[in-house]
Amino acid sequence: MIASPSLPPLTDAVTASGFPIGPIPSVEGRAVVLAGDDIDTDRIIPARFLKCVTFEGLGEQVFADDRSELGGSHPFDRPEHSGARLLLVNRNFGCGSSREHAPQALMRWGLRAVIGESFAEIFHGNGLALGLPCLTSGHEQMLAIQAHANAHPTASFLLDVQAAELRCGDQVWALELAPGPRQMLTTGQWDATGQLLANDDALVATVARLPYLNGF
Amino acid sequence: MSAGTLYDKVWDLHRVAELPGGSTQLFIGLHLIHEVTSPQAFAALRDLGLGVRHPERTVATVDHIVPTTSQARPFADPLAEEMLVNLERNCAAHAIPLYGLGSGRQGIVHVIAPELGLTQPGMTVACGDSHTSTHGAFGAIAFGIGTSQVRDVLATQSLALNKLRVRRIWVDGALPSGVYAKDLILHVIRVLGVKGGVGHAYEFAGPAVAALSMEERMTLCNMAIEGGARCGYVNPDATTFAYLEGRPMAPSGAAWERAVAWWSSLASDADASYDDEVRFDASTLSPTVTWGITPAQGIGVDEAVPTPEQLDPQERPIAEEAYRYMNLSPGAAIAGLPVDVCFIGSCTNGRLSDLRAAALVARGRHVAAGIRAFVVPGSEQVARAAEAEGLDQLFREAGFEWREPGCSMCLAMNPDRLEGRQISASSSNRNFKGRQGSASGRTLLMSPAMVAAAAVRGHVTDVRELLAETGRSASAASRQPSLTA
């Protein structure tokens, strides 16, 4: 039984990897463009790298096969993108397998936010659980953002999570982020465990009313 | 917004609380775990000083990394062995039942939970695997989760979720001979696309769905996620109840009668409202084969690879990528395309009726020269049932390898994988680049009967030709009886 809903601080492993803790009002840094629809989680992190009991080594393995195929010309291998914090994608990013190894690999490579036209449901949820904001934009605007980033690879972008806006120099692009995730990210409540633990009485009441847990 | 659907009813029953962030805390009735997505969740529990809230609602098995040739311990692959040891320790430490190798109940998690009667109508089912949508076949709300959410379910038996919209996929008609549930779902995804279902649950309904067996319904719901729908479901009916009756974990005696009454009440109301509806006609379908790198890139076996002009402009860039990767030309026929490897198995099509359908094609024939073909039963129970019917012998005589249960070459986390540019005919669910273990390997998704047809001919073949040759019918009525009869 759970005695208290309060949680100790995040683990050493998590903090040591530089993962976010607490409110995420904004993300600032260079942006890397990964063009194309339906980029699945098998491509983000091929299944052979899932043979592990920790997430630690995943940063180096992100997009391993795509990068190998392109022999150094993959966006993640170009020196100007080293240290980029924002990833700019298109439609249905993160489709396929539910592996959380995918956002883990992206974050361990250094990314702290993803902006795209749409995200697969499970990827979006996994990102939120790790404090990786995933915001959306319309098609034409997304192409414009990607074109700007490609034209200015060393420019610094500022993603304002609260305002759901992306800025670069004089440019401002309005993005979309549902009220729930927005509130969770900006108030630091994106890690749901504490909230879920707080409602144990209601959980017990739910168990008591479910026919299949009570002999029908 | 939907109202009066099974999805709405099950959602309401399992709602624990509304959370500050605006999402809903939903109770999870059945949590299935396996060796790949749970180790980091257990590690997080340890770090947070938390226990497992409902170990009796948690069930574990090992499937993704197990070899299918010899399952003797320790495994030849030390990383695979470490993952299984880790799972065994975690289950022992938290009193979680583990159906391990040789238990008689081990297998692919989405095969064993239904066959044990663990999956029941009206439940919420979660598992760290996207094909958890399979369990929706029983009228459960079942969906895949990531490892942080596995941690949350372990710790609290609940999840923070947002309600999905509900789309009804209504299917009229009946599947013709040689056309299976796999062809139906590949067709649905072809039409609606891999992103068409994002934000939705798919309710599969209509005469063609009502006529499907439970195993066929599992195939249908299994691939809802490939269409972007995190869960798919079928309303429970007499077929559902007949499948469940007598299973080890199903209710019995007086509780059975009460359970059936309650389960029946959960089906979507006749006047339920849906966010939208899409209609199909099963009687017009052909065996379907994917030609590209997403499950939506499918065509009838009698069709040609589409040209860019035939595609929606949005779909052209990924089609261009697929032509290159698959080395296929627009306008080329898919029938006759040579294959190297034939794989029958997976959580999509690794059940007894799938093996029977493939055996019906393989019987009295032989795998073509140069083709490597193997059959991986979905579970130990499937394997033993198939062996009792002599299917293992039938497949061996036809030149197929008969393996031990596991996920195998669906995702190639074990030694079963493509090499180089090999092309596979596969009864699995994903044809993504590199999915079957070679970074340049190619996958053609199809039904198990179509895989068997490709194996004996050495190239993509319309299974209806082989069924007609021998006067074997694969209609719904003949799919069920034993082949040895």
| pLDDT digits 0-9 by tens, B254-298 | 999 999 999 999 999 999 999 999 999 999 999 999 999 999 999
For residues B279 and B299, state if they share a domain: no
Helices B6-13 and B254-266 cross at an angle (nearest 10°) of: 120
Model confidence at A2: pLDDT above 60: no
**Nearest-5° angle of CA B388, CA B391, CA B392?**
90
In tens, the pLDDT along B26-54 reads: 999 999 999 999 999 999 999 999 999 99
H or E stretch at B455: helix B448-457
- CA distances (Å), A142 to each of A89, A178, B396, B483, in order? 8, 18, 54, 56
For residues B242 and B112, state if they share a domain: no
The answer to whether position B485 is within a domain reads no
In this prediction, residue A191 carries a pLDDT of 84
In tens, the pLDDT along B337-374 reads: 999 999 999 999 999 999 999 999 999 999 999 999 99
Of B103, B138, B161, which one is at a domain's C-terminal end? B161
B262 lies within 8 A of chain A by CB: yes
Q: What is the mean pLDDT of residues A120-149?
A: 97
How far is residue B62's CA from residue B126's CA, in Å, rounded to a whole number? 16
Q: Which of B65, B145, B157 is the closest to A98 by Cβ? A: B145
| Distance separating the N- and C-terminal Cα atoms of chain A | 25
Tell me the residue ranges of DSSP E strands in B151-236: 158-161, 165-172, 200-205, 231-234
Which 3 state secondary structure label does DSSP give B379? strand
How far is residue B358's CA from residue A205's CA, in Å, rounded to a whole number? 48
In this prediction, residue B477 carries a pLDDT of 42
How far is residue B89's CA from residue A177's CA, in Å, rounded to a whole number? 40
The answer to whether position B252 is within a domain reads yes
Model confidence at A4: pLDDT above 80: no
Model confidence at B242: pLDDT above 50: yes
For residues B306 and B443, state if they share a domain: yes
User: Which residue type occupies B315?
Assistant: E
For residues B150 and B202, state if they share a domain: no
What number is the ipTM of this complex? 0.94
DSSP symbols for A68-128? HHHTT-SGGGSGGGTT--EEE--TTBTBS---THHHHHHHHHT--EEEES-B-HHHHHHHH
Write out the residue range of the structural domain in which residue B259 sits: 165-284
DSSP symbols for B404-448? -SS-GGGTT-SS----TT-EEEESSS---TTTTS-TT-EEEE--H
Which residues in chain B are closer than 8 Å to A92, comparing Cβ atoms?
194-195, 198, 228
B255 lies within 8 A of chain A by CB: yes
In tens, the pLDDT along B393-443 reads: 999 999 999 999 999 999 999 999 999 999 999 999 999 999 999 999 999
For residues B97 and B174, state if they share a domain: no
Please judge whether B23 and A180 are an interchain contact, meaning their C-beta atoms are less than 8 angstroms apart: yes
Averaged confidence pLDDT in chain A: 91
Q: How many domains does chain B have?
A: 3
For B298, the token pair is 């499918």
For A152, the token pair is 């200015």
Q: What is the mean pLDDT of residues B99-117?
A: 98
In this prediction, residue B361 carries a pLDDT of 98
| Most B-contacting residue of A39, A186, A195, A204 (CB-CB within 10 A), to test interface | A195
- Residues A24-187, CATH architecture: Alpha-Beta Barrel (3.20)
Q: What percent of chain A has pLDDT over 90?
A: 87
In this prediction, residue B476 carries a pLDDT of 47
For residues B387 and B266, state if they share a domain: no
A208 lies within 8 A of chain B by CB: no
Helices B214-222 and B181-192 cross at an angle (nearest 10°) of: 30
Which 3 state secondary structure label does DSSP give B293? coil
How far is residue A166's CA from residue A183's CA, in Å, rounded to a whole number? 17
Model confidence at B321: pLDDT above 80: yes
How far is residue A93's CA from residue A114's CA, in Å, rounded to a whole number? 10
Nearest CA distance, B360 vs chain A (angstrom): 32
In this prediction, residue A180 carries a pLDDT of 87
- CA distances (Å), B41 to each of B100, B118, B146, B345, in order? 20, 23, 9, 28
For residues B280 and B294, state if they share a domain: no
The answer to whether position B484 is within a domain reads no
Record the pTM. Answer: 0.95
Which residues in chain A are closer than 8 Å to B37, comparing Cβ atoms?
98-100
In this prediction, residue B470 carries a pLDDT of 84
How far is residue A129's CA from residue A162's CA, in Å, rounded to a whole number? 17
User: In which band, very low, low, confident or very high, does the pLDDT at B475 lie, cut at 50, 70 and 90?
Assistant: low
Model confidence at B110: pLDDT above 70: yes
Residue B196 has a CB neighbour count (10 Å cut-off) of 19
Least confident of A18-27, A184-193, B457-466, B467-476: B467-476
How far is residue B429's CA from residue B410's CA, in Å, rounded to a whole number? 7
CB-side exposure of A26: number of CA atoms within 13 Å? 11
Averaged confidence pLDDT in chain B: 96
Please judge whether B37 and A100 are an interchain contact, meaning their C-beta atoms are less than 8 angstroms apart: yes
Which 3 state secondary structure label does DSSP give B46? helix
> What is the C-alpha radius of gyration for chain B, rounded to an integer number of angstroms?
21
Please judge whether B148 and A2 are an interchain contact, meaning their C-beta atoms are less than 8 angstroms apart: no
In tens, the pLDDT along B92-104 reads: 999 999 999 999 9
For A26, the token pair is 């904004």
Model confidence at A7: pLDDT above 50: no
> Alpha helices of B193-315 — where are they, by DSSP H?
207-210, 214-222, 238-244, 254-266
Contact B376, B343 (CB under 8 A): yes
**Nearest-5° angle of CA A89, CA B293, CA B374?**
140
Q: Which of A43, A122, A209 is the closest to B144 by Cβ? A: A122
Model confidence at B478: pLDDT above 80: no
For residues B127 and B219, state if they share a domain: no
In this prediction, residue A192 carries a pLDDT of 87
Task: Please state the three-class secondary structure of A177-204 as a single string.
Answer: CCHHHHHHHHHCCCCCHHHHHCCHHHHH
Residue B103 DSSP one-character state: S
CATH of the domain at B225: 3.40.1060.10
Contact B106, B59 (CB under 8 A): no
Residue, of A10 and A69, whose pLDDT is higher: A69
Please judge whether B440 and A69 are an interchain contact, meaning their C-beta atoms are less than 8 angstroms apart: yes
Residues 33-62 of A with CB under 8 A from B: 36-38, 40, 42-43, 46-48, 50-55
How far is residue A122's CA from residue B130's CA, in Å, rounded to a whole number? 8
In this prediction, residue B192 carries a pLDDT of 98
How far is residue B477's CA from residue B48's CA, in Å, rounded to a whole number? 54
Residue, of B21 and B119, whose pLDDT is higher: B119
A79 lies within 8 A of chain B by CB: no
For residues B189 and B208, state if they share a domain: yes
Of B284, B317, B349, which one is at a domain's C-terminal end? B284
Q: In what order do the strands lie in the sheet with B165-172?
A: B231-234, B200-205, B165-172, B276-281
A143 lies within 8 A of chain B by CB: no
How far is residue A101's CA from residue B37's CA, in Å, rounded to a whole number? 9
Of B284, B313, B334, which one is at a domain's C-terminal end? B284
The answer to whether position B472 is within a domain reads yes
The answer to whether position B1 is within a domain reads no
CATH of the domain at B56: 3.30.499.10
In tens, the pLDDT along B120-159 reads: 999 999 999 999 999 999 999 999 999 999 999 999 999 9
| Most B-contacting residue of A19, A134, A196, A204 (CB-CB within 10 A), to test interface | A196
Contact A210, B29 (CB under 8 A): yes
How far is residue A69's CA from residue A33's CA, in Å, rounded to a whole number? 18
The answer to whether position B268 is within a domain reads yes
Residue B37 DSSP one-character state: T
H or E stretch at A129: helix A121-130
Closest CA to A184 of A194, A171, A174: A194
